[in-house]
Amino acid sequence: MRPAQRRLLFFSVIFLILGSVGGGFAGKSIGRKSAERTAKKAITDAEKKLEATQEELQAANQLLQDSGVINDEETRKRLEEFQDGIPWNMTLVNTVHSMEEGYVPELTEVENGLSVDARIAEELNAMLAAARADGINPYLLSAYRSIERQAQVFNDTVQSWMEQGADYWTAYQNTCKEVALPGTSEHGLGLAVDIVDNSYTGLDAEQANTATAQWLQAHCAEYGFILRYPADKESATGIIYEAWHYRYVGKEYAQKIQASGLTLEEYLGEVY
Ligand SMILES: [Zn+2]
């Protein structure tokens, strides 16, 4: 073979090798590109499906919310805890959740001739004592009220509106804003108390400014109580801000509820 022929053969071989290697790369590259296209299409399809599902989920959530049921993940998780029933200290009583008929708690007298559910007496006494030790003058105005007593308070209030010139229906409506219908008051459970300041016993907005109201807001959870009807929560509780009404739920729940910023209704997923 002549040197020129050898060179030609050498370059041909190199060319062939390069060609096959390059072809291989090109083939691989084409294979990769098609896999990439398939994957991208799959992702796009999945994204579209996800979007559609999210829209569906949103619509379903909206439906649920419109029907008055809370449906967020936090609430669902919280409610899992109550699957086997609501513990006695978390019983919800309000205008749409009336008390179990004929329910009367076992009572213990605390002060001013008033009684509460025997299970909360110790902590209520401890809370009042701690406030007094801090130089505060709380006055226990109301505690357990029987159905009969609640009915009497309700009827007396209707009567007093009528004496002021209201017709029965107006008097009844006005009373509903101030007094719970018998069977729909937490006072019937023996788990609620109205505490005011000795220097100001009015059950109105002014009460919130008293030293007692402020001390209680700061310390109630340490004794298992919550401010049951906070300001700006009327839509959740159906009751105006009552700076004096405290509800026993136990230390654990009092702290959880306080940290959550929710009302008892919201905490239990029962908002209307
Ligand atoms: Zn009350």
The greatest distance separating any two alpha carbons of the chain, rounded to the nearest whole angstrom, comes to 133
Q: How far is CA 251 from the centre of its chain?
A: 17
Write down how long the chain is: 272
Beta bridge mates, 225? 248
Distance CA 153, CA 145 (A): 10
Q: What is the pTM of this model?
A: 0.71
Condensed to tens digits (0 to 9), the pLDDT of residues 9-31 reads 545 544 444 444 444 444 555 67
Q: Enumerate long-range contacts of 151-159, CB under 8 Å, 24 or more apart.
A: 151/182, 153/179, 154/179, 154/180, 154/181, 154/182
Of the spans 32-36, 50-54, 254-258, which averages the highest pLDDT? 254-258
Distance CA 58, CA 242 (A): 36
Q: Within 10 A of 184 (CB to CB), how many other CB atoms are there?
A: 18
Tell me, in angstroms, the distance from the centre of ligand 1 to residue 192's CA: 6
Tell me, in angstroms, the distance from the centre of ligand 1 to residue 239's CA: 10
Q: Which residues are catalytic?
A: 242
Element of type H or E holding 244: strand 242-248
Condensed to tens digits (0 to 9), the pLDDT of residues 168-216 reads 999 999 898 778 898 999 999 999 999 999 999 999 999 999 999 999 9
Tell me, in angstroms, the distance from the centre of ligand 1 to residue 187's CA: 6
Tell me, in angstroms, the distance from the centre of ligand 1 to residue 72's CA: 30
Strand order in the sheet with 225-229: 138-142, 192-197, 242-248, 225-229
Q: What average pLDDT does range 142-151 have in this prediction?
A: 94
User: Are 143 and 128 a contacting pair, CB within 8 Å?
Assistant: no
